[in-house]
Structure 1
Amino acid sequence: MSRRSRRRQSSGLRLPLLAFVALLLIGAGAWWWSQRDAAPDAPAVVAAQDAGDPKRVNETLALPPVEDTRPGGLAGQVPTLEPEPARSPPAATQAADALPAFLPPEARTTLDLIQRGGPFPHRQDGAVFQNREGRLPRQARGYYHEYTVDTPGLDHRGTRRIVTGGTPPSEYYYTDDHYDSFRRFEIGQGSTP
């Protein structure tokens, strides 16, 4: 076979290979573009905060129901979140009862680590929670972070998590069913859990 015919054979393979690489790069670019940092219709929280109007911030951050967010759990009814009746325990027990009763005792350790910035026992702790199911209020990508609440007796992460919103965290959510439902809670400012 002459040199000229060998070149034709090898160049015949080169064109499909280049086309495949080009398609692969275009596909990777499209995927990257779809995974950009900001959600397209995220509320303008930053603008409201910059304006310094706390009422305006509260208006733009309407929260969904958090007591039962399981699909079909409400039989077509629009859930409403009713505030719990106010109770004022004695001052000596307020610090000990700063967290809601639905949180397990291990949540206190997780919250301490969150406030200190770690180190966390699981490598996934502090990772961005993407809220793919939309069970939490829609925010820009990177707003929510998840942390493991250990379950005694398990040798894996289990299903209990605390999801925080904001940096530093200003919103706290707890799930004990691996993101099927969330309950919002607050911790006192300047206090340790």
Structure 2
Amino acid sequence: MPRRSRRRGGGTAWGKPLLILVVLALLVGGGYWWFGRGDAPPEAQAPATISSDGRSEASLPLPPVESTAPGDVTAPATLPPPAAANPSAGNRSAAGAPAADALPTYLPPEARQTLELIARGGPYPHRQDGSVFGNREGRLPRQPKGYYHEYTVDTPNLGHRGARRIVTGGNPPAEFYYSDDHYDSFRRFEYDLPEAR
């Protein structure tokens, strides 16, 4: 009597080894993801408080306000209104170049154009500019929906919006945040909007 094969359904001999490789790859990838998360130290969390109605509330500390003046930590970084920035009105240094204003040094030059558009209320070069920023990752202080709005900071020689953004809080904007990594991190800065919009 001929011996019958244990394989049924005409499957290939690669089925079991392939399954083992897929499971191993998933385990290695999952372990890398799980243990790779602990590289950065966890942020200090604010203690939760219990309100009078029994709900737990936690507040997030605001990121520090940065200043561009070396050694001067108390002066906020502000930008003069666009009408005051007149190069022919003596706003030049001894070398004849325009004097640097008080925007933080980490902001790219294109951020000034974005801030001027925000101050004027547009028109914006990208249809998403001025739209509500959801803060779904919770990297900014918790506020009601619609509090934050996002604006693109153009990146030269790039054919799309890129990763640089300014996020404002309030209406009119009272808080300003800059992200150069597509909302993975934010840096808060001060900017005084001109009175007339």
TM-score, scaled relative to structure 1 = 0.54
How many percent identity over aligned positions? 64
CA RMSD in angstroms comes to 3.2
Q: Deviation at 1:86?
A: 1.2
Q: For the structure 1 residues 177 and 120, does the alpha-carbon distance in structure 2 shift closer, same or farther, using more than 3 Å as the test?
A: same
Q: 2:187 aligns with which of 179, 183, 190?
A: 183
SS in structure 1 of the partner of residue 154 of structure 2: coil
Distance verdict in 2 for CA 1:143–1:98, change over 3 Å: same
* Structure 2 unaligned residues grouped into runs of 5+: 1-36, 46-62, 76-90, 94-98
Whichever of the two has the greater Rg, that structure is: 2
Residues 98-117 of structure 1 mapped to structure 2, 5 A cutoff: 98-117=102-121
- Of the three residues 129, 133, 144, the one matched with 2:133 is 129
Structure 1: stretches of 5+ with no match in the other structure: 1-70
Q: How far off is 1:98 after superposition?
A: 1.8
Distance 1:111 1:83 in 2: 17
Mapped partners of 1:83, 1:153: distance in 2: 28
Q: Report the count of equivalent residues.
A: 120
Q: Which of the two has greater helix per residue?
A: 1
Deviations 1:50-95 (A, max 9, x none): xxxxxxxxxxxxxxxxxxxxx757413539859764168xxx67x7
1:174 aligns with 2:140: no
- Runs of 4+ aligned structure 1 residues displaced above 3 Å come to 71-74, 79-85, 188-192
CA displacement, residues 18-67 of structure 1 (integer Å, 9 cap, x when unaligned): xxxxxxxxxxxxxxxxxxxxxxxxxxxxxxxxxxxxxxxxxxxxxxxxxx
Where does residue 78 of structure 1 map in the other structure? 44
TM-score, reference length from structure 2: 0.53
